[in-house]
Structure 1
Amino acid sequence: MYFIQPTRDIHLLDSVLEALPSLQMIHIDDLHLYDSTIIAISDVNDFLQYKWTLPTIVIGHADEGLQLSQAWELGALAGWIWDHLPKDLAKSIAKIEAKYKRNQDSRDLPSAAELQKKLLPNPIDLLNYKVETLFQPSAYLSGDWYDYWKLSDREILFYLADVSGHGVTSSLLTSWMAAFHGRSKTPRELLKKLNGMLLQENIEKHITMIAGTLNLETHQLKWSSAGHYPPAIIFEPNQDARILNTSSFPLGLTEDLEIEEFECTLNRGARFIICSDGALEPFDGGLNEQFTQLVYHLQNQSFEVPEHVADDIAILSFQRLN
């Protein structure tokens, strides 16, 4: 932490420096040479005159309330009085520093959100198929994720995952999955490897997921589920929706994870859709009522995301064109 040498005489300066021997004294003219993220302490008049960008705790005299108020408006972290400094300066500074770091983390969230979105898969042209996606975090960062990539010119592997909880830890796991996926060639292999990694690293999170492969020539669809709700859905023209119910545990709970693989063939015009449970949030009622309404709106292509969502939403859809 820095202490900026006052330009006026402060008779209590030595007592402050004695109470905080780790402070590094620096001169105003040399501010540009120092780390702009480290907190500084300075006299309030110098802060108001030079208006530097270092995060700063200002100190003034008892009759300088206006100056302290002006410094606060300019972004000072705290304002103290030379004659009435906190009894435990080190402890007070530690609290201010912790709060400052938390605020800095919050300011970084918009940039982190943009970076997360850049990790989503790029749009892809597939022979005979149209891909549609939706990604709507409830806050800056999302614990829902989808990805897809080509295993060959005629086959793709895809998944949609929902990490338990919210916040930075859940979103970091989505980035981890984005970096991890390329090692797997089948849905079962992907789920098994992710489950093993979660248990090995002792990450106190679980992940629900639907993963699958789609053959673009034979239109054969294979998929597996790890405790994911809502289930995958297939819509075909002039037919009732097909709900692809499965039963299994989420990833990260047990080593004895049984992964079943299911398969079917997509007919012309069929749409295969997987969603995270946040897609249920716009609808009223219990889970069954919400799911019924979701199916209706997806089938009629009338699903709309509210402006403010309580849970992350992710949707991935593949539609056979011919």
Structure 2
Amino acid sequence: MMMPVYDGFYFLEQYEKEFEKKYIPVIVMSAAGDTRSISKAFDYGIYDYFTKPLSSVQLMSFELKVKNALRMKNTMDQLRERNRIIENEMNLAAKLQRKFLPNEISNENFELKYYYRPYRELSGDYLDVIPLAGDKVLILIADVVGHGTASAMIGSMLKMHAIDFVESHPDFDLVDFVKNSNAELIRLGVEDTIVTACFFIYETKTGFLNYVVAGHPYPLVFDFDQDDVFSLENPGTLPLGLFDNIDVMPGEIRLKAGQTLAVYTDGILEAKDYDGEFFGLENIESTSKDFVEANDVFEYNRFITSLIGKLDSIQDDVTIVFFSIRK
């Protein structure tokens, strides 16, 4: 450790910067045997430390330490390679998951846009938009408890189930669909699988919105004509996956021209603001209210900038769907 110009600690400092992610074990042999020097060397992440001169027993120990260090490096190299493969597979899965997201819609009747932000590569949030017969559209948003691979797979299952159900039921009934989705989750038999969800059928001819809120945060309606924001509260339905049979409590509202329906997952509720506090329902409602009072129509980019700008830390998947009725 004691060298002219640059000592061993300088070398260890540079080594740590240069080879931080490569894990090359370093064994130090030095005449400096004081506690401070040894402790400082270990702070740089060395594998072991020997003081000179070495006894015969220490020489044998030194040889074993070198062999163990080489084994450790080989193990770490294998682990890094496996992690690299897993990371590549997760990134590919995330790309595929994004391809399953619905297209945003803008037509003469309504506009649908969404904000989608997985916490990790894969999201446990699911959303879909499926056309129905009779100028109707089915809108789904669900939040599988947890996040990651298992939650994403359950979300994919929900998507395929929804498509199959719509195709096999020309006379689509929202209550039957919710009950059938719950039964499908129960049939899977995956322990602790709980899904909160909102289901909507919008009739473009009449403007009526039929909906079911299953354990999910209540959607908000932005009314720019009245400078008001209100929630779609009803008796509510239990989350899916808890019980074999559930009572489904549907609701109905007629959306007016210029109104915007906002549906979000609880990741936004559990996000932290810059004071380290949960953002919560009150802040979502007040942010929405301030936006409605300051604007005549819904503007996606402006609202998202206003909302996300108040968040310091997001620790869950976040999805927000905006469904705006044309004037």
TM bucket (normalised to shorter chain) is 0.5 to 0.7
Map 1:86-235 to 2 at 5 A. Answer: 100-152=81-133, 154-182=135-163, 183-184=165-166, 185-204=172-191, 205-229=193-217, 231-235=218-222
Map 1:297-308 to 2 at 5 A. Answer: 299=292, 302-304=303-305, 305=308
Cα deviation for residue 145 of structure 1 reads 1.8
Whether the 8 Å contact between 1:210 and 1:223 is mirrored in structure 2 is yes
For the residues of structure 2 that align with 1:203 and 1:96, how far apart are their CA atoms? 35
For the residues of structure 1 that align with 2:264 and 2:104, how far apart are their CA atoms? 18
- The answer as to 2:274 corresponding to 1:269 is no
For the residues of structure 2 that align with 1:165 and 1:131, how far apart are their CA atoms? 26
AA partner of residue 315 (structure 1): I
Instruction: Name the residue aligned to 2:46.
Output: none
AA partner of residue 154 (structure 2): L
TM-score (norm 1): 0.66
TM-score (norm 2): 0.65
Map 1:273-288 to 2 at 5 A. Answer: 273-280=262-269, 281=271, 283=273, 284-285=277-278, 287-288=280-281
For the residues of structure 2 that align with 1:312 and 1:163, how far apart are their CA atoms? 10
SS at match of 1:107: helix
Whether the 8 Å contact between 2:272 and 2:313 is mirrored in structure 1 is no
Cα deviation for residue 144 of structure 1 reads 1.2
Instruction: Name the residue aligned to 1:316.
Output: 321
Cα deviation for residue 317 of structure 1 reads 1.5
For residues 177-217 of structure 1, give each alpha carbon's deviation from its aligned partner in whole angstroms, at most 9, with x where no partner exists.
22221114333233212211111111121100000100111
SS at match of 2:205: coil
Single out whichever of 284-293 and 165-174 deviates more from structure 2.
Answer: 284-293
For the residues of structure 1 that align with 2:111 and 2:313, how far apart are their CA atoms? 28
- Shift in alpha-carbon separation, 1:270–1:98, aligned structure 2, 3 A: same
CA RMSD of superposed structures (Å): 3.3
For the residues of structure 1 that align with 2:179 and 2:83, how far apart are their CA atoms? 36
AA partner of residue 208 (structure 2): Q
